[in-house]
Amino acid sequence: MNLLKVLRNRQSGQWSPYKAETSILDAQYSGFELSQTVEFDQDNHTASVTSVAIDSDAEQYLLAGLGDGTLCIHRIRAKLKESGYGYQSKVDWRAGKTHPGKHKHGVKTVSWFTDNGIFLSSGRDGKLKVWDTNAGSVVEEFKIEEGINHHSLADPAVGPLVAVASKSRNVVLADMHSGAACHTLRGHTGEVFTLAWHPGESRILATGSRDHKIMLWDVRQSKSYLCTLDYNNVRFKRSKDLKLSGESHQGGIHGLEFSSCGRYLYSCGGDRRIRKWDVSTKKNMKTKFPELSTKHDGHTDMKNITGGQVDLLFVPELHNISVFHTTTGALLSGLVGHYSTVYTLAFSARDTVLYSGGRDRFILGWDPPIQISAAEASKYGDVDAKGKSNKQLKQYTVDTWSSDEDQENENEET
């Protein structure tokens, strides 16, 4: 992308502010590369990274759950790197094997509450735990009958509800105020792998199961079940020609992700297919996504990133992350950096950074091109004839704002 051309077109009035903004975002979102801005402290990862979450306040803390039940909180920009450009993360808190609140088995999902003071974790031991971040201790615990595959926190407008998908065929709604399971959604005939709350209609929940079905529920109704999405329910097809199969995929449903507007729902199945659904009409959009070269086990993270003229869908595919055009379904690119299977994704809209974790025990950041260019411009100065750096940062391009603020905060704490 020629940024100067975009600015000139905006300045001359040929482009509207919206077109200029979306053009820049398109180029940034579709050009992610392995981060040169943040390097994570990987030494505290004793097992595969199964789930990550960014805090909703300042987006400066990354919560990570590991395959051995360990939990970590990384302060992403804790300090400047000792050599080179960018920041080194720091593990501010860790619940390892000796912590009394640690999960006995692998962590499946971690998530922040509406602020940084509380976070949630769930795992294969069948427990959903509510943690006090400052005290580093469990303040509430829900015991689910079967091992948990995934949990998701509802919008505050609905209340402090947490939807839990487990090896049971039922979906449990846990109420954080009462500390008890307040409702059970019954309808699936197989293990429930994944679920997602509608971003606009906050009472609507989508669930996916081993029974090949995606179900929509209204949790405020006594009879919560609304419908099952059918892959034979296609646009521009007369109703008398429809042959409803009652299935959404030809395999279990492992990933669900709503678009930011809530109009569309993306699903990923054990049949290695991605489908796009119109939530208002309940129709299969028949978007031609390519077949995925991956095997699913439990929940699969998917991230829909919007803001540009084109919405993008990021899906883990073996040890890479595939990027798809949500309108055409075309594969745009792949993010290569992990050495083994990628399990989890998280996106920071504030910093425009994608984070991923996987079986290789690494958390990686992915920067847009503009940050990569800044990193290249801010590295150590010229290299002499012997190939040695002059060991001085370029003072006109290096970013020291965050580090100064962090240092001031550390001084106030001490």
| Residue 90 domain-assigned (yes or no) | yes
pLDDT digits (tens, 9 = 90+) for 51-85: 999 998 888 999 999 999 999 999 999 988 876 67
123 C-beta neighbours (distance < 10 Å), count: 28
Structural domain including 35 reads 31-371
- We report the CATH number of the domain holding residue 138 as 2.130.10.10
96 C-beta neighbours (distance < 10 Å), count: 14
pLDDT at residue 359 greater than cutoff 80: yes
The 8-class DSSP code of residue 339 comes to: S
273 C-beta neighbours (distance < 10 Å), count: 17
pLDDT at residue 218 greater than cutoff 90: yes
| Residue 408 domain-assigned (yes or no) | no
Token pair of 381 as six digits: 């100065």
pLDDT at residue 392 greater than cutoff 70: no
Helix%, strand%, coil% for the chain, nearest 5: 10, 40, 50
111 compared with 411, residue with greater pLDDT? 111
| Residue 14 domain-assigned (yes or no) | no
pLDDT digits (tens, 9 = 90+) for 235-273: 655 555 555 578 999 999 999 999 988 999 999 999 999
| Residues 6+ positions from 225 with CB-CB distance below 8 Å | 185, 187, 215, 217
| Residue 77 domain-assigned (yes or no) | yes
pLDDT at residue 6 greater than cutoff 90: no
| Residue 343 domain-assigned (yes or no) | yes
Whole-angstrom distance, CA of residue 51 vs CA of residue 71:
10
Confidence (pTM): 0.86
| Residue 55 domain-assigned (yes or no) | yes
Strand residues in 32-157 grouped as ranges (E):
33-34, 38-39, 49-54, 61-66, 71-80, 87-95, 107-112, 118-123, 127-132, 137-143, 148-153
| Residue 58 domain-assigned (yes or no) | yes
| Residue 168 domain-assigned (yes or no) | yes
pLDDT at residue 10 greater than cutoff 80: no
Rounded to the nearest integer, the mean pLDDT of the chain is 85
How many domains are contained in the chain? Answer: 1
Any idea which residue has 């079905």 for tokens? 213
Most confident stretch, 13-22, 240-249, 361-370: 361-370
| Type of residue found at 163 | A
Give me the pLDDT at residue 403, please.
45
Q: Indicate the SS3 state at residue 326.
A: coil
Q: What mean pLDDT comes out for the span 375-394?
A: 53
Q: What mean pLDDT comes out for the span 269-295?
A: 92
